[in-house]
Amino acid sequence: MVAPDFTHWDNPLEKISVHFYLPEGQFGESDACVWLDVDLYDRESGRWYIAIVGFNCEGLIRYGIGYEAAGGQIGYKSLDGGFTIDCNKWYKAELSRI
């Protein structure tokens, strides 16, 4: 997937929508089916921010909580989204500003 470069975009970003299709036999039950990875630049503070959210076919949602102290790896937390995703169907995922 190719993402647009919003680095020089002057309008506030409210929501990103992604449409996706999962072909049958390509993902296991616990595999992450979809990841939304958004890097945002705050011009006023001169800092980059990352928003990363992933979910699997059983509705487990994993989201980034920031960089860990050592190694620069992103730490994650999980929650049950209360949904399932079936293969061979189109879906829409949205990441919204709160």
Q: Quick: pLDDT tens for 28-75.
A: 665 667 777 777 777 788 877 777 888 888 888 888 877 776 666 777
Indicate the DSSP class of residue 87.
S
Q: Which of 51, 64, 42, 56 is CA-nearest to residue 85?
A: 56
pLDDT at position 7 over 80: no
Domain map (residue ranges) of the chain: 28-96
Burial class (CB in 10 A: 0-12, 13-18, 19+), 10: exposed
pLDDT score of 1: 46
Q: Confirm if 87 and 24 have CB atoms less than 8 A apart.
A: yes
